Every structure is written in structure tokens, then in C-alpha cells.
């Protein structure tokens, strides 16, 4: 049994230590807001926060989480900045298919926590998740709106 | 008349556009039969299928709290169709779209609103069903009024409606629809209810917010991959490295069987599978399986042979001497070439492409105690998936229930593509294990089995007169398109429209034209891919048109304007895009950080028209696109915000494909396994995209795909203007660009 702190709750998980956190979240714990896209750190659909840092959960093994605090999209509106990000996403109607957007919102929230007023360069550096629907410009606009 | 189109007699073009895709394992199904069975036993002599889109109860659930559930004929996958449907129905029903909850309807004859069939594709949803869905809303409103009249004992004419309430102005009485719904649905609908005057529209033509953005911004939206049923096993697969080969031996079956959580190991057509208590365990196990596969044919292009490659396929298309069939012909082409002052010739080619939608495909199959089957699966055509599922399960279609969740992107991915879908595997595994089974393809297995946009080839020749004006155009297209693959029996000529669209039907007045199509089948699963034949053909044609302009000493904008002489609609679009970009200016010119140039292209996809200008520079041998200006004329629209977002989204896919994308076969095996080996557009390559909607008032055209086809040629033409390099083999990444 491995103990995890996710969204302020304690969970005891029984899985192989090398299981990616992504699949622990989705399949073991039913937190399906975090998405599987590639499994190899390419797409960012699986982005969660580990101690507030945007992290691709397909690359984090269960055993390596340790006592880091995990935050997923399910709890994002409980965070003041996360709530602002979501409101900007809704106001600017960012999502198309939406599949990448959990990861995008998580990446944006982590960025704004560290850099409340990001430059275009900061956005380019932090917002590297793929969007096959091409919402990149809407995402950047929403990040700027959430920062304003 | 074909059984796929009961009761409809559309023109061939409408028809072929309408089918956009519906395929089955092996053969196209008699969908009409499947439907008839799905309805269960006939109810007496008059038990004809309902006229699609007319039975209010099949579409609307009106709840006491004032919310409305709309069972939509279409599946939402990012294109905004759920919101569009709520706008259209809400406009006539007199209920704000925000009060709708929209779900994709189960299979059934009521939903065959696309010229008598049902599908989400061909950029056809809104334009095909607009009138029908308005009428449905108006019919439902009329039922509410009549139910209220009976309740209040007044005349219908004394009643009005407002935001889901029937009002009797004289007495100030008000009855919400929710209270009237049960009575209303018992009434016989009026056949001819008046529709709202478009001058008084409140929702249609407005940028109504999408119904799904909050759920999609908070992780609450549920896709196929997120679904779970009680007691289900998770399955992962390993596909045969070459399509068409089969597992012959599992060298370490016992070892894998003993891995944690493993329930069972299975051989499937062209694949092996492991069912386990979690997907990760199933995946680890199936990847640990040492599988021996049957041998592929050593050579040839009739199967995916051991030496099959994109190169050998392309060489076969190029080498064909078969004259093919005429796809478009006008005037005296031979005479024009005989009199030509100059002849221009060029070959164009485009690679296989993957859909690469971000949600990997999955399916759940569950047999019920009564022997019927439930399947949850991403799909663009519920009735066809129902019929194929039934066939795989050995059940009549009426005993298969199809659940169609929201799609995490599709772009043509979710039609039935033989070995290209996981649902037959889920059904076979559910049968074998006696448990519900969810099959999820890893991204790698998805890249291995996604059906691909066909590799394509066309040869162009133009005759120019002494003034540099094109007098004749001859195009030879060799290959295969998805309509020919899956619907050849419905084509009235041997010409596959999905292989030649974008080469035929162009608006330019070149007086002598001859376009032909020669079929050479691909051994791989080919697919509909956003904008289908237009995705490469407009790139070829519009590039070649710039070559013609260059050979004749003409400016590409001026030449197009001259060739569009007869069409005010196209000239308006061309003028608009020029104006949007600050006036036509080809360049090269000094821009921020170096030299830039612009390219121009037009396209006429799916009943809409586009004119596109791209601004490009070259950095480190690579193209950088800075701006895309797109003037878009879909005739008329329902939601300007959704239209603009879809045009931008399609433009990005066009940009991504022309810059980077290719599925390459070598030794019978695809060389891309994931996004690292199939690069798609990232933020760093994202240009500014400027979209302007021009509503010409022409018949409503498509929206989801038409933004794409103008983008690749506009970029290719800009590169030629900047560097002098004419790229005729896609993607651009295969060519090192010279500095400007
Ligand atoms: S699933 Fe983790 S980066 Fe793609
Ligand atoms: S919205 Fe579809 S992948 Fe980003």
C-alpha cells in the first residue's frame, strides 16, 4: 500500500510501484479528469501539480510521489488562481474537443502561481502541451486574461 | 436509389458529399435493413419508419424544472454541433440554448436527418439538418401551445410563448413547458407550423456560448476513455507489425499469464490481447508477450508486403500508364496544347497522414443477461457501428445498444475502418471472458492501426498563350480515395470524388480542361481525414496555378482575379482576404527578424468557399508561418464564434500537415509510433490566425473542414515567393529551405 495525498484527501493505493501516477489517478481512483494522450511526456494531457509544479503524470511512478502533494483538475476550482484560469477559459471559449484542456488548465494555473504576470515568452515556455484542435492562440489569450 | 438513402433522391454530388463515410467490415451494410430491425417488430400495416426529424418525442425531453434534453442526431467532438443544435431548436421552440442538455441519440430511424442517412461528417451536420431541426422546434412549440389551450380552455391564437412558458396575455396566466410536456406529446403534431422570421432570430446567428466549455475546462467532460462499467476487465493489445498477418505462436504465455492482475490472454484477428484488472497491468503484460506472426507476402502492393514502403507505393502511382476515367472535361485540350506558346508540367505528391486526435480510441462491450449487447464507443455513425457490432457479436442489430460519448477529437477518425477500430476486439473479448471488457489502444497501437489519409499523386500540365494566359489544364490523378474504398457500389462513374475533389470543381475559367482519375488501390486502411481529398488536392492545384502564373509572367493575385471573372462570390472573397492582410503584397519584403513573403490560395470545399493568404519566413532552413488570413464564405451561419473557432482549428491542421506530418512505411511497417515520431503542430509554430466570415447568402455550406484546404497551398506559394523553391512533395519538413 502506498499512501498519496491528492486534492487534500488521503488515499491508500495498492499497485506496482512503477505504475504511472496517471493510471493510478484514472483507473484506480476514478479521477478521470486527467487525460492519457501519449504516455511519453509529449502531449501534456496528463498534467497535474506535484507540490504546485506542473508535472506530466505519465512520467511519475507511484513510488516516486512520496509525500508530494498531488493536485488534479478535479480540485482546480478550489484554488483561487485555478478558478480565475477556468473563468478565463470559459469567457474566451477556449476548448474545442476539450481533451487536452484539463492539462492546459493545470499548466496555466502552475504558470500563474509562479509568474502572476507572464510575458509572451513565459507563456511559450510554460504552455507546451499539445492541442490537436489548434486552440493555442485562445489558450494564450485566456492565460493573459486570467493574469490581468 | 441506393438503400443507404431511403426516400431521398439527391443529386449525385449532394449524395456523395452526404455519405462522407460509412463502412463496414468488408462490405457496406444495408443500413435501412438494420434500421428496420432496430425498430423491432412492425406495428401493423402502416408501420413505416417515421420521417426522420419529425417525431418530437424522439428528440426532446422537457423536464419540470424547465431544462430540456435534446437527443441530437450528431456527436459532439469539438465542432460545436451540440450548441448549434440547441440554438436551432431553441430558436423555434422559444427556449434559450443555455437551458439545453444535449446528448447523442441512440441508433434509430428518427435521426437519419442527413439526406436520409445519419452521420457526423462531411461538414454536413448543420447544413443538412437546419430546416428539419428548426421545424422540429417549431412543431414542439405548437404542441405546447395547443396543450396549454386545452388546459386553459382558450383558443390557440390567444396564446404566445416566451422562454419556455406559454402565456395567456388576456388573463396573465402562464404555463411552463415542463408542466405541459406530458399532455403536449399526446397530441398529433401539426404538419405545417410556421417558422420564425429570421429577422426576429435571437439565438441563430449569435455567438451563443458553447454548452460544454465549462465541463471541458474542469475535467468533468466524459469521453469514451473515461467510461467504466461494473465488473469490467481492462484489455490492452499488441497489433501485428504488418497489417494482414496473424499471431501464430506465443512463446511465453505461461510467464505472462502469471504477471500481476492478468486475467487471460487472447488471440484476435491481427492482434493479441491481455485482459487484466487494470489497463496498466494489461498493457505491461501484452507488451511482454513474445509473439510470432505469420509471414507477410514478400513483395507487391496488393497487400502490406514485407518490403512495402511509401516509396514503392508512390512509384507505382507515378508509373501507371492506365489512362483512367475522365473526371472533368471541357473544350479542346489537345488543340490548346498544340497551339501553346509555352507548356508547364509538374508532379505533386502527398504522404499518408494519421488523424492523431488526442484521445486514444477505446471501447467497452458488455453482454447483458438476456443476451443483448451494450457497446460504448467513439463513433461518427451510430447505426453503422450498431450493424457491425451486431455482426461481430452474431446478434440482430436490434439487440445491440450503441452509446456515443463525446469525442476527444475526430477529424474523420471514428468511422468503421475494418482493423482500424477497437470495438470488434472489445466485443470478442467480452464474449470470450464472459465479462464486460474495455479495450484501450495505447498511443503506439493507435499509430499502428489508425486508418490513414491516402498517399496521393497528381500530374499537372498547362498550356499558356503568348500573353502568358493559361488556355488549357490537364491533370492526371492516380490513387484511391475513401469513398471509392468504402462506397464504390454507390458511385455512378468510376471516378472517386474523394480522390479528385479540389482538382475538379475549381472556379477558374480556364477554357480547356481535362482531369482524369486512375484507380490504384492502397494495401493499407485508408480514411476520411479532415477535408478528405481537398486536404492535398487544393495544395497541388493552387501551387501549380502559381507555377502557371510565374511561367506566364503574371502576379498570382492578378491571374486569379482574371480567371474568376465570372464569379462575383469568389472575387469578393479574394478582395476581402487581400484587404484583411492590408492589401495584396507578395514580397519578398523586409519583416520583423528577416525577409518574408506571402502566398495566396482559394478552395471550394464542402459547399463553402475560402480565400487564404499566408505570411512566411525561413529560419534555419525551416518555414515559419507568421500570419494566416482567411476569408470564409459558408453562405450563411448559425454561430459566428463557433464558425471562427472551427475555421482556425481546421487551418491549424492544414498548417500542421503541410509543415510536418507524414506516416512513412518502410519494410511494411509504419515508422511513427507516437507524437515524437509523428510531430504535430506545437505552440512554437502557431501563427496569428485572422478569420473573417463573409455571408454571401448562398446555400449553407460546411464549416468544420473548409478552413483547411487553402492553408497548405498558401504556405507553399509563400515559400516559393520567398526562396524560389517550389515544393511539390509534402510535407515541407522533407525539404531544406534556402535562406531568403
Ligand atoms: S500522456 Fe503524459 S505527456 Fe502525454
Ligand atoms: S481542444 Fe482538442 S486537443 Fe485541444
Domain extent listing, chain A: 2-74, 76-147
- Containing A69, the helix (H) or strand (E) segment is strand A69-71
Number of neighbours of residue B534 by Cβ within 10 angstroms: 27
SS3 B664: coil
- Containing B127, the helix (H) or strand (E) segment is helix B125-152
ipTM field:
0.98
HSE on the CB side for B272, CA within 13 Å?
28
* Rounded Cα gap, residues B369 and A121, in angstroms: 58
Q: Provide CATH 3.30.365.10 ranges for chain B.
A: 50-213, 224-295+361-440, 315-340+453-734
Does this model's pTM top 0.90?
yes
pLDDT at residue B32, rounded to an integer: 36
Rounded to a whole number, what is the largest CA-CA distance in chain A? Answer: 44
**Residue B359 pLDDT exceeds 60:** yes
CATH fold, domain B50-213, is Aldehyde Oxidoreductase; domain 4 (3.30.365)
**Residue B16 pLDDT exceeds 70:** no
Q: What is the CATH number of domain B315-340+453-734?
A: 3.30.365.10
pLDDT at residue B84, rounded to an integer: 97
Q: Which three cell numbers stand for residue B307?
A: 518490403
HSE on the CB side for B374, CA within 13 Å?
17
* Rounded Cα gap, residues B505 and A78, in angstroms: 55
Model pLDDT for residues B168-199, shown as the tens digit of each residue: 999 999 999 999 999 999 999 998 899 999 99
* Pocket flag, ligand 1, residue A35 (CB < 6 Å): no
Residue B186: burial class (beta carbons within 10 Å; 0-12, 13-18, 19+): exposed
> For residue B469, what is the DSSP state?
-
**Residue B28 pLDDT exceeds 50:** no
Residue whose CB lies within 8 A of the most ligand 2 atoms, among B225, B358, B410, B650, for a mutation test: B358
Mutation for B interface: A96, A100, A122, most B CBs within 10 A: A96
Radius of gyration of chain B (CA): 27
CATH fold, domain B224-295+361-440, is Aldehyde Oxidoreductase; domain 4 (3.30.365)
What's the Cα-to-Cα distance from B157 to each of B149, B169, B250, B353, rounded to whole Å?
9, 11, 76, 58
* Rounded Cα gap, residues B507 and B505, in angstroms: 6
- CB-based contact (8 Å) between A96 and chain B? yes
* Pocket flag, ligand 2, residue B80 (CB < 6 Å): no
* Rounded Cα gap, residues B729 and B317, in angstroms: 14
Q: Which three cell numbers stand for residue B305?
A: 508486403
Which pLDDT band, with edges at 50, 70 and 90, does B740 fall under?
low
Return the exposure string of A70-101: e unless at least 16 CB atoms fall within 10 Å of the residue's CB, then b.
bbbbbbbbebebbebbbbbbbebbbbbbbbbb
What's the Cα-to-Cα distance from B231 to each of B228, B364, B375, B429, B611, rounded to whole Å?
9, 12, 15, 14, 53
What is the number of the ligand closest to the CA of B443? 1
Q: Are B261 and A14 in contact (CB under 8 A)?
A: no
Number of neighbours of residue B575 by Cβ within 10 angstroms: 16
Report chain B's mean pLDDT, rounded to a whole number: 92
> For residue A12, what is the DSSP state?
E
Q: What angle do CA B45, B49, B54 make, to 5 degrees?
A: 125
pLDDT at residue B48, rounded to an integer: 55
Q: What is the CATH number of domain A76-147?
A: 1.10.150.120
Q: Which of B279, B218, B699 is nearest to A73 (CA)?
A: B218
Task: Please list every residue in chain A whose beta carbon sits closer than 8 Å to the beta carbon of residue B80.
Answer: 96
| 3-state helix, strand and coil shares in percent for chain B, rounded to the nearest 5 | 35, 25, 45
**Under CATH, which architecture does the A2-74 domain have?**
Roll (3.10)
Q: Which of B530, B296, B241, B527 is nearest to B410 (CA)?
A: B530
How many residues in chain A? 148
Look at A84-88, B62-66, B309-313, B351-355 and tell me which has the smallest mean pLDDT: B62-66
Q: Please check whether the two domains, A2-74 and A76-147, share a CATH topology.
A: no
Phi, psi for B346 (deg, rounded to 5): -160, 145
- CB-based contact (8 Å) between A36 and chain B? yes
Q: Give pLDDT < 50 ranges for chain A.
A: none
- CB-based contact (8 Å) between B78 and chain A? yes
* Backbone dihedral region for residue B661 (phi beyond 0: left; psi -120 to 50: alpha; all else: beta): beta
Question: Which residue, chain included where needed, has cell 506571402?
Answer: B598
What is the number of the ligand closest to the CA of A96? 2
Q: Which of B283, B289, B271, B267 is nearest to B234 (CA)?
A: B283
Question: Which residue, chain included where needed, has cell 484521445?
Answer: B359
Q: Which three cell numbers stand for residue B627?
A: 500570419
SS3 B161: strand
- CB-based contact (8 Å) between B466 and chain A? no
* Dist. CA B338 → ligand 2 center (Å): 52
Residue A2: burial class (beta carbons within 10 Å; 0-12, 13-18, 19+): middle
Q: Are B585 and B613 in contact (CB under 8 A)?
A: no
- CB-based contact (8 Å) between B277 and chain A? no
Model pLDDT for residues B671-719, shown as the tens digit of each residue: 999 999 999 999 999 999 999 999 999 999 999 999 999 999 999 999 9
| 3-state helix, strand and coil shares in percent for chain A, rounded to the nearest 5 | 45, 15, 40
Nearest-neighbour CA in chain A from B358: distance (Å): 6
Q: Which of B523, B542, B527, B531 is nearest to B458 (CA)?
A: B542
pLDDT at residue B49, rounded to an integer: 64
- Containing B706, the helix (H) or strand (E) segment is none
Model pLDDT for residues B613-622, shown as the tens digit of each residue: 999 999 999 9
* Dist. CA B311 → ligand 1 center (Å): 32
Amino acid at each position: 500500500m502506498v499512501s498519496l495525498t491528492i486534492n487534500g484527501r488521503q488515499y491508500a493505493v495498492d499497485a506496482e510501484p512503477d505504475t504511472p501516477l496517471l493510471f493510478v489517478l484514472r483507473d484506480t481512483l476514478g479521477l478521470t479528469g486527467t487525460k492519457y494522450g501519449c504516455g511519453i511526456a509529449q502531449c501534456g494531457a496528463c498534467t497535474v501539480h506535484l507540490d504546485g509544479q506542473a508535472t506530466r503524470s505519465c512520467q511519475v511512478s507511484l513510488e516516486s510521489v512520496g509525500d508530494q502533494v498531488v493536485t488534479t483538475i478535479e480540485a482546480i476550482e478550489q484554488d483561487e488562481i485555478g478558478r480565475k484560469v477556468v473563468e478565463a477559459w470559459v469567457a474566451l471559449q477556449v476548448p474545442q474537443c476539450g481533451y487536452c484542456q484539463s492539462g492546459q488548465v493545470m499548466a496555466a494555473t502552475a504558470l500563474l502561481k509562479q509568474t502572476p504576470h507572464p510575458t509572451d515568452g513565459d507563456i511559450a515556455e510554460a504552455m507546451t502541451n499539445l492541442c490537436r484542435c489548434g486552440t493555442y492562440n485562445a489558450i494564450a489569450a485566456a492565460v493573459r486574461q486570467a493574469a490581468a | 436509389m441506393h438503400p443507404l438513402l431511403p426516400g431521398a433522391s439527391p443529386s449525385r454530388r449532394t449524395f456523395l458529399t452526404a455519405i462522407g463515410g460509412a463502412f463496414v467490415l468488408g462490405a457496406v451494410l444495408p443500413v435501412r435493413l438494420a434500421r428496420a430491425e432496430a425498430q423491432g417488430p412492425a406495428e401493423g400495416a402502416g408501420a413505416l419508419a417515421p420521417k426522420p426529424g419529425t417525431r418530437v418525442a424522439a428528440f426532446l425531453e422537457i423536464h419540470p424544472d424547465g431544462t430540456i434534453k435534446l437527443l441530437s442526431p450528431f456527436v459532439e467532438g469539438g465542432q460545436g454541433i451540440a450548441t448549434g443544435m440547441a440554438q436551432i431548436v431553441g430558436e423555434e421552440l422559444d427556449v434559450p440554448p443555455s437551458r439545453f442538455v444535449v446528448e447523442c441519440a441512440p441508433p434509430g430511424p428518427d435521426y437519419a436527418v442527413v439526406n436520409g442517412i445519419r452521420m457526423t461528417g462531411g461538414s454536413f451536420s448543420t447544413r443538412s439538418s437546419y430546416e428539419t431541426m428548426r421545424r422540429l422546434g417549431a412543431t414542439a412549440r405548437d404542441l405546447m401551445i395547443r396543450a396549454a389551450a386545452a388546459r386553459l380552455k382558450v383558443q390557440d391564437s390567444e396564446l404566445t410563448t416566451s422562454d419556455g412558458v406559454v402565456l395567456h396575455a388576456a388573463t396573465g396566466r402562464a404555463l411552463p413547458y415542463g408542466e405541459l410536456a406530458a399532455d403536449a406529446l399526446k397530441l398529433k403534431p401539426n404538419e405545417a407550423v410556421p417558422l420564425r422570421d429570421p429577422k426576429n432570430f435571437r439565438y441563430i446567428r449569435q455567438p451563443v456560448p458553447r454548452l460544454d466549455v465549462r465541463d471541458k475546462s474542469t475535467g468533468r467532460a466524459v469521453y469514451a476513455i473515461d467510461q467504466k462499467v461494473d465488473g469490467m476487465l481492462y484489455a490492452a493489445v499488441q497489433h501485428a507489425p504488418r497489417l494482414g498477418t496473424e499471431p501464430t505462436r506465443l512463446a511465453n504465455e505461461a510467464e505472462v499469464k502469471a504477471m500481476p492482475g492478468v486475467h487471460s490472454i487472447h488471440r484476435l484477428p491481427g492482434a493479441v490481447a491481455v485482459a487484466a484488472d487494470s489497463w496498466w497491468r494489461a498493457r505491461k503484460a501484452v507488451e511482454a508477450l513474445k509473439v510470432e506472426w505469420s509471414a507477410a507476402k514478400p513483395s507487391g502492393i496488393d497487400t502490406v508486403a514485407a518490403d512495402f514502403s511509401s516509396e514503392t507505393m508512390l512509384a507505382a502511382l507515378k508509373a501507371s500508364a492506365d489512362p483512367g476515367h475522365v473526371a472533368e472535361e471541357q473544350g479542346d485540350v489537345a488543340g490548346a496544347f498544340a497551339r501553346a506558346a509555352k507548356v508547364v508540367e509538374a508532379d505533386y505528391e502527398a504522404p499518408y497522414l494519421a488523424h492523431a486526435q488526442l484521445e486514444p480510441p477505446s471501447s467497452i462491450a458488455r453482454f447483458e443477461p438476456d443476451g443483448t449487447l451494450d457497446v460504448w464507443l467513439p463513433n461518427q455513425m451510430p447505426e453503422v457501428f450498431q450493424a457491425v457490432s451486431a455482426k461481430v457479436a452474431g446478434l440482430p442489430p436490434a439487440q445491440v445498444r450503441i452509446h456515443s460519448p463525446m469525442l476527444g477529437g475526430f477529424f474523420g477518425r471514428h468511422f468503421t475502418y475494418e482493423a482500424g477500430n477497437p470495438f470488434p476486439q472489445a466485443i470478442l473479448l467480452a464474449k470470450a471472458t464472459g465479462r464486460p471488457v474495455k479495450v484501450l489502444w495505447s498511443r503506439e497501437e493507435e499509430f499502428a492501426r489508425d486508418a490513414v489519409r491516402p498517399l496521393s499523386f497528381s500530374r499537372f500540365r498547362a498550356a499558356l498563350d503568348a500573353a502568358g494566359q493559361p488556355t488549357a489544364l490537364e491533370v492526371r490523378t492516380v490513387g484511391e480515395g475513401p469513398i471509392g474504398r468504402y462506397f464504390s457500389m454507390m458511385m455512378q462513374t468510376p471516378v472517386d470524388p474523394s480522390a479528385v475533389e479540389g482538382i475538379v470543381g475549381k472556379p477558374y475559367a480556364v477554357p480547356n480542361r481535362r482531369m482524369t482519375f486512375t484507380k490504384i488501390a492502397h494495401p493499407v486502411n485508408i480514411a476520411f481525414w479532415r477535408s478528405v481529398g481537398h486536404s492535398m488536392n487544393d495544395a497541388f492545384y493552387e501551387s501549380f496555378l502559381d507555377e502557371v502564373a510565374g511561367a506566364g509572367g503574371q502576379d498570382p493575385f492578378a491571374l486569379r482575379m482574371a480567371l474568376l471573372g465570372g464569379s462575383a462570390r469568389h472575387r469578393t472573397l479574394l478582395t476581402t482576404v487581400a484587404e484583411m492582410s492590408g492589401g495584396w503584397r507578395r514580397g519578398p519584403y523586409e519583416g520583423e527578424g528577416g525577409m518574408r513573403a506571402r502566398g495566396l490560395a482559394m478552395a471550394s470545399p464542402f459547399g463553402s468557399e475560402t480565400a487564404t493568404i499566408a505570411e512566411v519566413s525561413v529560419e534555419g532552413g525551416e518555414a515559419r508561418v507568421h500570419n494566416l488570413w482567411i476569408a470564409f464564405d459558408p453562405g450563411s451561419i448559425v454561430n459566428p464564434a463557433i464558425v471562427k473557432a472551427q475555421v482556425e482549428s481546421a487551418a491549424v491542421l492544414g498548417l500542421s500537415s503541410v509543415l510536418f506530418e507524414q506516416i512513412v512505411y518502410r519494410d511494411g511497417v509504419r515508422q511513427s509510433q507516437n507524437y515524437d515520431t509523428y510531430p504535430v503542430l506545437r505552440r512554437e509554430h502557431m501563427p496569428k490566425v485572422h478569420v473573417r466570415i463573409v455571408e454571401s447568402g448562398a446555400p449553407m455550406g460546411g464549416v468544420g473542414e473548409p478552413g483547411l484546404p487553402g492553408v497548405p497551398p498558401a504556405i507553399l506559394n509563400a515559400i516559393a515567393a520567398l526562396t524560389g523553391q517550389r515544393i511539390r512533395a509534402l510535407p515541407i519538413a522533407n525539404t531544406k529551405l534556402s535562406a531568403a
